[in-house]
Amino acid sequence: MNEAVSRRSAMRLIGAAGVVGGALGAGACAPTVPPGAGLRSTAPAAPADAEPGGANRIDALLERLTLDEKTALLHGARDPASLGQAGYLPGVPRLGIPALRLADGSAGVRVTETATALPAPVLLASAFDPALAREYGRVVGREGRALGQDVVLSPMANLIRTPYAGRNFEAFAEDPRLTADLVGEMVRGIQEEGLIATVKHFALNNQEHGRDTVDVIAAEQTLHETELRGFEAAVAAGAGAVMGAYNRVNGVHACENKPLLDELLRGSWGFDGWVMSDWDAAHSTVAAIGAGLDMEMPGGTHFGRPLREAVRGGTVPEAAVDLAVHRILTTMDRFGLLAARPAARPPRNAAAGARVARKVAAAGAVLLRNEHGTLPLSGAAARSIAVIGPTGQVPFVGGGGSAHVVPDGAPAPLSAIRQRAGNGSTVRYALGEDLYGRPLPATLLTPAADLDHRVVAPGRGWRHEGEFRLAADDEWTLLVHYTGQRPGVRLDGEELFPVRQGITEHYAGGLLGSAPDGMAVRRRTLALKAGTHRLAVTAAGGDKGQRFRLRHITGAIRAADLAEAVKTAKSARSVVLFAYEDATEGRDRTSLALPGGQERLIEAVAAANPRTTVVLNTSSGTTMPWLSRTGAVLQMYYPGQEGAGATADLLFGDVDPGGRLTQTFPADERATPVGGDPRRYPGVGGRQEYSEGIHVGHRWYDAQHVTPLFPFGHGLSYTTWHYEGLAVRPGGARGQRGSLRVEFTVRNTGRRKGTEVAQVYVGPSPELQLDQPVRALAGYRRLTLAPGQAQRVTVDVDARALSSWDPERHAWVLGTGRREVFAGRSSRDLPLRSKVVVASR
């Protein structure tokens, strides 16, 4: 299993015949990829008092830096003028080295100020459009610069390996090829605007469960053919920085993993930027700097005083410190940050950001199901609509954790639907399921008390103790909404919301963790017996004071909300039901089902009105026992601040759904690549095995003959498509041997303009004695055609797509011989197939 570690010295590549030379180069073959690395030339001027001339200038700076100054460049610190970003480096003002600010930015720039809350990367990826990823990157790049940042902690190149992983919405795809294409273009987009991109989390941070400690075991071939592809593409695109992951890789912490950081990243791939740790992911001083970690974030636990002492004590050569500083300064210089007169920061262009946000949300939307012409809404169906669900009224913008962005503004789907439906239409709304609870009637409590508007001044405690009576047994949900410190709530002597610390504090098992006004929400559901119950609420005020409200939902409230939703559904011609699942960094999902009472709500509403469309604002694959009752299902993931408008565009058919799944949706929880084997997920004894090998995502479903709920690449359009005339010949874009040119015709056979994602897959080589996918994605093309229009599509399949990683030779090896080539609409709908001989180069 441990080849990646044991054979590491031989990983620098061999240029033998039949071997695809060099690990560099993403080799993107999608025809939409714009050429060139695209780093805008930011020809830097010399810092005021440094010597002129590139590398010499950095050397000269290094000579003038003291050891204290050098190590201060190697670890984060507190920002005295923080803009709310994740990381800060003070710089060395006396030598003209400016401070460096580092903000999160998976789905927009995360600072205190508002920014464009972009759709989650998984929705971007669903458009299968590298050019769109570049546009998205440019929004992040420009906004990052405008909001005072120098580095963005994005993109996340980790693959979607399990549908349970809490950060799947921040990732792009389960497919390595697609991820690589998109990550590369996003890096280019970000850096074209002068912001330094940080590809993260290197590597194998594919789950949140035990992420700080888990030891991920993956074989060399698996690593190269799956998870590493996105990182390699980011390096090829010129990413300025790499973030090391929390977890261990093959026994060694990722942030002190020499085979990964030194031998592969720098040695094989030629990375010349700097490596920073994930936040608190550095574990040592000597081992980490020796392995190639350049910067510890967010503080200096290991690279502050301990590093200075290690240098003075001789356990770390000063040359190692110099090398790390050199890498950081060289990258800063490359982006013009050391210039005497650095380029002025651009102003924000919020309108342009919003336009891209809407475009991406609409482009990535995946229509999973559409029966009996439920969508698009038109004619009578568009004039009488019931909107149901809490997230129909309060928009679901983005996921939690470091991907959270404060949006400029986010209209609600209900308003967007009302606006689009127009004056002659009736749009009614029903909540369906209460997420935030109703106030506890003051008269229910003895003594009477208002627990809904409590404001407690700093340091001034507040307490209520009393009773309430229930006439019959009931299921209650008690909710506390609060700012500042959470108040204590004891029911019959038991604390309902025990304090937990950390990033997952507000994780509520997929239910929304905050109220529309931003207050944190915690819930507890209990079976209460008839009789008297004792309630005690204690608020300490804390340093900053606190606000809170205590709310409740009874069985009767639940039943009334459901009945109201059913009544509203019956009264309308069409129903649009918004369902959600709130995922966050730091926690994996515990179930693939929709949380709370949403399954029951969908069943009841769809039974009342079969013209029900379910709009899913979920993070990743969801199980859908209710599917067959619905008319349509539209997967919008986390759609960003313009999600409402984009959703309306799709529902009413102003935009054709051109998104396709970048991950397989399993039919049930047991039938996933990791299902049923705890060693694969979540790991046993702190160790996790990637024993599915190269068969990640759709490759596993094909290899195991498992039928998914929806396959990779699936997505319906409002029009119909026909594929014909497949021709495959050796020789790709430039006619090179070892590559293929695949041509076929795609015809819009329907009556509407539509968008299609034509996909090309290749079968295994008979001449390689290596494990190979049954079908690997080799290329794709997004195209929009008028009704009746046909287009000849060319997809060039490059050598990388036809190669496997040979762990004996530590190199890519071309899969020669007769191979099958497939083209069609998804990994499971491939009407065209042909055979071709791949000749060695």
Q: Binding mask 483-522 vs ligand BGC (x if CB under 6 A, - otherwise)?
A: ----------------------------------------
**Smallest distance, ligand BGC to C-beta of residue 573, A:** 45
Cβ-contact 528, 476 below 8 angstroms: yes
Q: Is the Cβ of residue 100 or residue 387 nearer to ligand BGC in the bound state?
A: 100
- Reference 253, options 305, 296, 203, 310; nearest CA is 203
Q: DSSP labels for 455-472? A: EE-TT--EEEEEEEEESS
**Residue 420: how many CA atoms within 13 Å on its side-chain side?**
25
Question: Should residue 104 be labelled a site residue for ligand BGC when binding is judged by CB under 6 A?
Answer: yes
CA distance 319 to 325: 10
**Smallest distance, ligand BGC to C-beta of residue 403, A:** 8
To the query of whether residue 278 is one of the catalytic residues in this protein, the response is: yes
CA distance 266 to 148: 30
Q: Is the Cβ of residue 243 or residue 632 nearer to ligand BGC in the bound state?
A: 243
Question: Should residue 200 be labelled a site residue for ligand BGC when binding is judged by CB under 6 A?
Answer: yes
Q: Is the Cβ of residue 102 or residue 650 nearer to ligand BGC in the bound state?
A: 102
Nearest 5 degrees, angle CA 720-CA 721-CA 726?
170
**Smallest distance, ligand BGC to C-beta of residue 121, A:** 12
Q: Is the Cβ of residue 153 or residue 354 nearer to ligand BGC in the bound state?
A: 153
**Smallest distance, ligand BGC to C-beta of residue 388, A:** 35
Q: Is 338 exposed, middle or buried (0-12, 13-18, 19+ CB in 10 A)?
A: buried
Question: Should residue 197 be labelled a site residue for ligand BGC when binding is judged by CB under 6 A?
Answer: no
Name residue 133's amino acid. Answer: A
Dihedral Cα 476, 480, 481, 485, nearest 10 deg: -170
CA distance 712 to 368: 11
Structure-token pair, residue 650: 């799709």
Q: Where in 704-763 is the site for ligand BGC (CB under 6 A)?
A: none
Q: Is the Cβ of residue 281 or residue 537 nearer to ligand BGC in the bound state?
A: 281
- Alpha-carbon separation of residue 125 from 68, 161, 268, 283, 361 (angstroms): 44, 15, 27, 33, 10
SS3 194: coil
**Of the candidate residues 58, 72, 86, 650, the single one contacting ligand BGC (CB under 6 A):** 86
Number of residues that bind ligand BGC (CB under 6 A): 8
Position of tokens 């439906």? Answer: 421
**Smallest distance, ligand BGC to C-beta of residue 155, A:** 10
**Smallest distance, ligand BGC to C-beta of residue 146, A:** 20
Structure-token pair, residue 416: 């967007």
Q: Binding mask 231-270 vs ligand BGC (x if CB under 6 A, - otherwise)?
A: ----------------------------------------
- Alpha-carbon separation of residue 664 from 163, 634, 710, 715, 828 (angstroms): 9, 15, 6, 11, 11
Q: Measured in whole angstroms, how far is the alpha carbon of residue 372 from the centre of its chain?
A: 33
- Residue 610 DSSP code: S
- How many CB atoms lie under 10 A from the CB of residue 763? 19
CA distance 822 to 776: 10
Which residues have a Cβ under 8 Å from the Cβ of 201 and sit 6 or more positions away?
156, 158, 243, 244, 245, 246, 254, 278
**Smallest distance, ligand BGC to C-beta of residue 120, A:** 14
- Reference 181, options 410, 407, 393, 28; nearest CA is 28
CA distance 541 to 547: 9
CA distance 841 to 712: 31
CA distance 104 to 190: 13
Q: Is the Cβ of residue 200 or residue 224 nearer to ligand BGC in the bound state?
A: 200
Q: Is the Cβ of residue 201 or residue 680 nearer to ligand BGC in the bound state?
A: 201
**Of the candidate residues 279, 701, 721, 723, the single one contacting ligand BGC (CB under 6 A):** 279
Name the β-bridge partners of 299.
none
Q: Is the Cβ of residue 198 or residue 759 nearer to ligand BGC in the bound state?
A: 198
Q: Is the Cβ of residue 154 or residue 719 nearer to ligand BGC in the bound state?
A: 154
SS3 316: coil
Q: Where in 567-606 is the site for ligand BGC (CB under 6 A)?
A: 585
Question: Should residue 215 be labelled a site residue for ligand BGC when binding is judged by CB under 6 A?
Answer: no
- What's the order of all strands across the beta sheet hosting 196-202? 87-89, 100-104, 151-153, 196-202, 241-244, 274-277
Cβ-contact 318, 311 below 8 angstroms: yes
Q: Where in 333-372 is the site for ligand BGC (CB under 6 A)?
A: none
**Of the candidate residues 370, 402, 609, 619, the single one contacting ligand BGC (CB under 6 A):** 402
**Smallest distance, ligand BGC to C-beta of residue 239, A:** 14
**Smallest distance, ligand BGC to C-beta of residue 102, A:** 8
Which listed residue (104, 278, 333, 798) is catalytic?
A: 278
SS3 251: coil
Q: Is the Cβ of residue 205 or residue 598 nearer to ligand BGC in the bound state?
A: 205
**Smallest distance, ligand BGC to C-beta of residue 124, A:** 17
**Smallest distance, ligand BGC to C-beta of residue 170, A:** 8
Q: Is the Cβ of residue 399 or residue 715 nearer to ligand BGC in the bound state?
A: 399
Question: Should residue 278 be labelled a site residue for ligand BGC when binding is judged by CB under 6 A?
Answer: yes
In the complex, the residues that contact ligand BGC under the rule CB under 6 A are 86, 104, 153, 200, 278-279, 402, 585
Catalytically active residues are 278
